[in-house]
Amino acid sequence: MQTKPGNVPRQKRYLDEMFGVPLQSLWLDIKPVQSQSFEKLRYDTQKPEALLERIINLSSNENDIVLDCFCGSGTTAATAEKLNRRWITCDLGRFAIHTTRKRLLSIENVKPFVVQNLGKYERQAWQTAEFGDAQRAAAVVTQYRQFILELYNGRFVDGYSWLHGVKDGRMVHVGPVDSPISPSDITQIAIEFRKATGTGKDAPKVAAVDVLGWDFAFELNEVAKQQAQQANITMRFIRIPREVLEKAAVEQGDVKFFELAALSVDKTISKRTVTLKLADFVIPPDDVPQDVQKAISHWSQWIDYWAVDWDNKGDTFHNMWQTYRTRQDKSLQLQVAHQYDQPGEYAIMIKVIDILGNDTTKTLSVIVH
Query: For position 285, which CATH number holds?
Result: 2.60.40.10
For 286-302, what is each residue's pLDDT tens digit?
Answer: 656 777 788 888 999 99
* E-strand stretches of the chain: 65-68, 86-89, 155-156, 165-167, 170-174, 208-213, 234-239, 258-259, 262-270, 273-282, 303-309, 321-324, 335-339, 344-354, 359-368
250 in the same domain as 278:
no
Contact of 143 with 117, CB cutoff 8 Å: no
- Which pLDDT score, from 0 to 100, does residue 50 have? 95
By DSSP bridging, strand 65-68 and strand 86-89 are: parallel
86 inside domain: yes
- Contacts of range 314-319, beta carbons closer than 8 Å, 24 or more positions apart: 314/347, 316/112, 316/113, 316/114, 317/112, 317/114, 317/349, 317/351, 317/361, 318/112, 319/105, 319/110, 319/112
Point out the domain boundary residue: 205, 223, 258: 258
For 193-226, what is each residue's pLDDT tens digit?
Answer: 888 876 666 677 788 999 999 888 755 666 677 7
Domain count, the chain: 3
For 76-122, what is each residue's pLDDT tens digit?
Answer: 999 999 999 999 999 877 778 888 988 898 888 888 888 876 667 77
Length of the chain: 369
State whether the Cα torsion 74-80-82-85 is positive or negative: negative
157 in the same domain as 98:
no
242 in the same domain as 136:
yes
- Which pLDDT score, from 0 to 100, does residue 285 have? 67
8 inside domain: no
pTM confidence score:
0.63
Distance of alpha carbon 214 from alpha carbon 240, whole angstroms: 5
What Rg, from alpha-carbon coordinates, does the chain have? 27
249 in the same domain as 135:
yes
Mean pLDDT of 251-260: 84
For 67-88, what is each residue's pLDDT tens digit?
Answer: 999 999 999 999 999 999 999 9
Contact of 130 with 136, CB cutoff 8 Å: no
132 in the same domain as 254:
yes
249 in the same domain as 165:
yes
CATH of the domain at 73: 3.40.50.150
214 inside domain: yes
3 inside domain: no
188 inside domain: yes
State whether the Cα torsion 133-139-143-146 is positive or negative: positive
Residues 6+ apart with CB under 8 A from 352: 261, 263, 278, 281, 303, 305, 306, 359, 360, 361, 362
271 inside domain: yes
Contact of 323 with 305, CB cutoff 8 Å: yes
Q: What angle do CA 154, 158, 160 make, to 5 degrees?
A: 105
218 lies in which domain range?
120-258
233 in the same domain as 139:
yes
Instruction: Say if residue 233 is exposed, middle or buried (CB neighbours under 10 Å; 0-12, 13-18, 19+).
Output: buried
232 in the same domain as 152:
yes
111 inside domain: no
319 in the same domain as 243:
no
CATH of the domain at 131: 3.40.91
- Which pLDDT score, from 0 to 100, does residue 124 have? 83
Point out the domain boundary residue: 224, 258, 292: 258
194 in the same domain as 237:
yes
Q: What percent of the chain has pLDDT over 90?
A: 39
Point out the domain boundary residue: 58, 75, 105: 105
For 142-151, what is each residue's pLDDT tens digit?
Answer: 999 999 999 9
247 in the same domain as 272:
no
228 in the same domain as 136:
yes
360 inside domain: yes
